Amino acid sequence: MDLSHCYLHSLGEAESAKLEQLRSKLPEIVNQVKEESQEAAALNDLTIWRVKVTEKSDASDIVLLKYLRAEELDVDKAAERLKSTFVFRADCRIDELAEAELPEQFQGHDFITGSDADGRPIMISRFGSMDIDKVFGDTEAFVRYRAKLMEQAIQLLAFKKGTAEDLCQVHDYSGVMSSMYKSEVKAGVSAISKVFSEHYPEFKGKTLFVNFPAVFSKPFKAFSALLPERTRKKFIILGTEDHQILFEHLAPHMVPEAIGGMSRTPPGPLDGECRVVQVGVRKTDTIEMFAATGPCSIAWDLRVCSREVAYEVTFVPADAPDTPTVVQASEKGQYLKAEDGIISGTFESKSAGSLKCSFSNECAWFKARLCCCRAGLV
């Protein structure tokens, strides 16, 4: 079904009529919810993602349209799902959950780092860093943990006509072992998939699977073949060295250091945009990181995203370009490796000039190396 006219910014005449039909059912839905749920009956307002759905607004239209798209414009089914979500959110106190402190076993695995090129909030989860037994040992606690993260990401959406309405999710599988096949893991994944499917419709904008193990590829392909094409197109599978493709979807400074990006936790002196260079086999590329107009203190960061490179950071004085100063360099035969992450330094410039970085892919036979660098005043 073509649902492209079931968005507020492109609303068609037929879809607009369906929206009004669903809105007309809201008083009846609210009464049913309050009869069914004591928690809901005690609330002054019933909200979904902090939007007062019963009040006419762009935000409430956007919410209702999500339910209509999820049920392929079947108003009665959308109304039933809407009622179910009201009850779920009230009984599970989802608004309170969004502000709750996570237990220790759920901390440090997830990053909400900003927005992608299409304005979608980015939610990154690193499964390889989890203690599987603790994270998946209690299915209800696991579901609450994932729901809290979803709520936090959704809070970044504007709910305004023409703005992003869904999320960009990144699942990092580096370090994931066969323990992910445990029954507890399957139970947790199944439970949260059901909750998201029923109560968080139309939020799957784009999902990138990073460092995806080859052993999971066949089962995933079999699973994805069962999904609607509209959903299947939202999945992107990336291997361990596909950073160039990853950066086409997310800027490097939005990607955590642990998976090849330039986002540090906690942040360093520099946390903004960076330059990306692909260094060919047996090639050297030089990048100007910063142009100083006079004496100043310059901070710099650089890294290689996979494998290794040789590097040299130099300062070239404007009045003496033939006598550059070597700020820092890899020793001969010693290389900067991806697992080293971001390396940093500072340089005190005594004059105008350029801080440059040269990356040398001198030991590769077949593969280019992707590198990132940046510099700025401190």
List C-alpha distances in Å: 20 to 23, 60, 234, 257: 5, 12, 29, 47
Which band of pLDDT confidence, cut at 50, 70 and 90, is reported for residue 303? very high
Task: Tell whether the model's pLDDT for residue 178 goes beyond 70.
Answer: no
Task: Tell whether the model's pLDDT for residue 271 goes beyond 80.
Answer: yes
How confident is the model over 98-113, as a mean pLDDT?
Answer: 92
Which band of pLDDT confidence, cut at 50, 70 and 90, is reported for residue 191? very high
How confident is the model over 312-325, as a mean pLDDT?
Answer: 96
How confident is the model over 250-270, as a mean pLDDT?
Answer: 92
Q: Which of 88, 96, 229, 255 is nearest to 168 (CA)?
A: 255
Higher pLDDT, 365 or 145: 145
Q: Which of 31-40, 123-132, 141-150 has the lowest mean pLDDT?
A: 123-132
Spell out the domain ranges in the chain.
8-91, 103-240, 275-377
> Whole-number mean pLDDT of the chain?
93
Which band of pLDDT confidence, cut at 50, 70 and 90, is reported for residue 376? very high
Please report which helix (H) or strand (E) contains residue 285, including its range. strand 284-292
Can you state the percent helix, strand and coil of the chain, rounding each to 5? 40, 25, 35
Tokens in use for 248? 């086409």
Q: Which DSSP category does 60 fall into?
A: H
The pLDDT value recorded for residue 127 is 87
Residue ranges of E strands in 29-182: 47-48, 51-52, 110-115, 121-126, 167-172
The pLDDT value recorded for residue 211 is 87
The pLDDT value recorded for residue 239 is 85
The pLDDT value recorded for residue 363 is 86
> What tens digit of pLDDT does each residue of 198-230 get?
999 999 999 999 987 766 666 666 666 666 666
The pLDDT value recorded for residue 176 is 76
Q: Which of 99, 205, 108, 196 is nearest to 157 (CA)?
A: 205
The pLDDT value recorded for residue 19 is 98
User: What does the CA dihedral 18, 24, 28, 29 come to, rounded to 10 degrees?
Assistant: 50
Q: Which of 52, 63, 58 is nearest to 22 (CA)?
A: 63
pTM, entire model: 0.86
The pLDDT value recorded for residue 180 is 66
For the CA atoms of the chain, what is the radius of gyration? Answer: 25
Which band of pLDDT confidence, cut at 50, 70 and 90, is reported for residue 149? very high
Given this structure, which CATH class describes domain 103-240?
alpha beta
Q: Does CATH number 2.30.130.10 belong to domain 275-377?
A: no
List C-alpha distances in Å: 256 to 112, 166, 238, 252, 375: 10, 21, 16, 8, 18
List C-alpha distances in Å: 9 to 12, 27, 42, 203, 319: 9, 26, 35, 17, 56
Task: Tell whether the model's pLDDT for residue 313 goes beyond 80.
Answer: yes
Task: Tell whether the model's pLDDT for residue 322 goes beyond 70.
Answer: yes
Q: Which of 309, 373, 370, 304 is nearest to 339 (CA)?
A: 304
How confident is the model over 292-309, as a mean pLDDT?
Answer: 97
The pLDDT value recorded for residue 182 is 82
Which band of pLDDT confidence, cut at 50, 70 and 90, is reported for residue 175? confident
The pLDDT value recorded for residue 217 is 66
The pLDDT value recorded for residue 114 is 86
Whether the Cβ atoms of residue 64 and residue 24 lie closer than 8 Å to each other: no
The pLDDT value recorded for residue 216 is 65
28, amino acid identity: E
The pLDDT value recorded for residue 246 is 94
How confident is the model over 342-347, as a mean pLDDT?
Answer: 97
Distance, in Å, from the CA atom of 127 to the CA atom of 210, rounded to the nearest integer, reads: 11
The pLDDT value recorded for residue 173 is 86
How confident is the model over 91-105, as a mean pLDDT?
Answer: 93
The pLDDT value recorded for residue 333 is 85
The pLDDT value recorded for residue 177 is 67
Task: Tell whether the model's pLDDT for residue 338 goes beyond 90.
Answer: yes
List C-alpha distances in Å: 359 to 109, 156, 208, 302, 372: 31, 37, 28, 10, 10
